[in-house]
Amino acid sequence: MSFLSLEALLALLLGSLYGAVFGAIPGLTATLAISLAIPILLFLGPDTALAALIGISATAIFAGDIGSVLVRMPGTPASAAYTEELHEVARQRSPAFALGISAFPSAIGSLVGLGFLVVGSLGLVALARQFSSFEFFWLVLLGIVSGILAVPSVLKGAIAFGLGMLLATIGYDPALGNPRFTFGQPSLLGGINFLVALIAFFGVSEVLHHLLHRSHQASHGAPPFRMGRVFGDYFLEANKLCWKERFSLLRASVLGTFVGFLPGAGSDIAAWISSNLRRMRRGRPEQVALDGSSANNAAVAGAWIPAMALGLPGDTLTAILLGMFLALGITPGPELFNKHGSLVVQIYLAFFLVSAIIMPLGGYLSALIVQSLLRIPIRVLMGAVLGLCVVGAYAVNNNPFDLFLLAILGALGFALRQGGFPLGLVVLGMVLGPLLEQHFMVSMIKTHWNLWSFFERPLALVLAFLNLAMVVGVLGLRRGWWAALRLPPEERA
């Protein structure tokens, strides 16, 4: 069966629509979407099933930005990296423009990742195999440092990140297996689910914010709906900005691909690192959103590199993918390229069609829908958002206790927002905090608590130097050290 058959194209289209729905609703992730689809996909042929999988994974990651544009609530964890900026762009310009600078960079990032997937798989995987727990520790720390230094107040950023990392320590210690901070509550032994916290911090806190300010507006104040304006903002204005920022988009896409193919990294870390680096350069909100969304989707294709070339999962999605390969009687790795060359080509074509056609057109359809939703009275819309928060939080584990956590963390997020603390860094602490602890403990245990081992490997030493250079460079720019060094000696005093 050829990939261009009606069955495969229909599977790609339906998979994309299915993934977009799951990505746009908080709590329903791409991983959940694929997990629910597997019982059906197993009865399809390999090319049809893989086409549907690619459509689901690619569009679910992009669709997470729709909630950010509409009500400042990310649909996926990776979208949380630039939710604030994307929502600000939607308020200042238009939702169509905001979705345009999300969809087209996402497509570009996915195409760049596809390019590396086609021509550079084996070379990039060889580099990734050099990473041990020491290199991963410094890489995760680089993402943390860039996030804290990117906010206006480093102190508030550090406090917000520390709070997120503290919340992530609740439950069993991953290294020693001891329960921590559970206060005798059995429901906390598994820790606080990240998706429940994400919905609480960005969803419930947003609803509480609107209730406090008692907005009596009939709507969001959106301009009258005109399809011509939506088309112009989405296609013309957004593409004009993408062309202007083309070199930055390329850098973010390459970075996202690199982070994506590192085992255990994925699109979440790629989006955080890329958007934080642009914040550190004092980028405008639309520039931060461009870099974050391009790295976000480039990491999706990047995660397929080790999965196809070596049979090693780059993230949760590709771990499920490997299971699908084996269930369909296909062994990932060199055998995949030797015995199933036509299937590999079909995978490449599926990525290309999703990136170049389905994702931009899906974004335009989303822009039309969002523009219509903005006419709904804001109190009605916030009520619907709160309902989705409750349903999404409960759907994660089907555990009523998560609803209590939703209320408590939502109130905490509202208090932090009122105090000017960046909620994104709380989420960053919950994402990267456990990874930092895990790689640190693994490194310490296997070296018998020798701290110098973090500096003994050449690649680890390079990453450590990058962390130090970033701290010194950014703090130096903020405090004017470099400007002072350029002054004549008699003027420095």
- 180 phi, psi to nearest 5 deg: -130, 135
Structural domain boundaries in the chain? 6-436
* Radius of gyration, alpha carbons of the chain: 22
Contacts of 423 (CB under 8 A, 6+ apart): 84, 160, 201, 202, 205, 413, 416, 417
- Cα 488–Cα 491–Cα 493 angle in degrees, nearest 5: 125
Tell me which amino acid residue 378 is.
I
Contact 234, 367 (CB under 8 A): yes
Q: Please identify which residue in the block is written with the tokens 């009258």.
A: 224
- 171 phi, psi to nearest 5 deg: 115, -160
Q: Cα(50)–Cα(53) distance, rounded to whole angstroms?
A: 5
Residue 92 burial by Cβ neighbours in a 10 Å radius (0-12, 13-18, 19+): exposed
Contact 147, 428 (CB under 8 A): yes
Number of CB atoms found within 10 A of residue 417's CB:
17
Q: Cα(53)–Cα(31) distance, rounded to whole angstroms?
A: 11
Contact 478, 488 (CB under 8 A): no
First to last CA, the chain: 77
Q: What is the pLDDT along the chain (493 residues), one digit of tens a residue?
A: 445 577 888 888 888 888 877 777 665 667 667 766 776 787 777 878 888 888 888 787 777 788 778 777 776 777 778 888 888 888 888 888 888 888 888 889 888 888 888 876 656 555 656 777 888 888 788 778 877 876 778 888 889 889 988 998 888 877 677 788 888 788 888 888 877 887 788 778 878 877 776 544 444 444 444 555 777 888 888 888 889 888 988 988 998 888 777 655 667 778 888 888 888 777 788 888 888 888 888 888 887 877 776 665 556 677 667 767 767 777 676 667 767 777 778 888 888 888 888 888 877 777 777 666 666 676 776 777 788 788 878 877 788 888 999 899 989 989 998 888 888 788 778 877 887 888 888 888 888 888 888 888 888 898 889 888 878 876 666 665 444 444 454 544 4
pTM exceeding 0.75? no
pLDDT value of position 128: 58
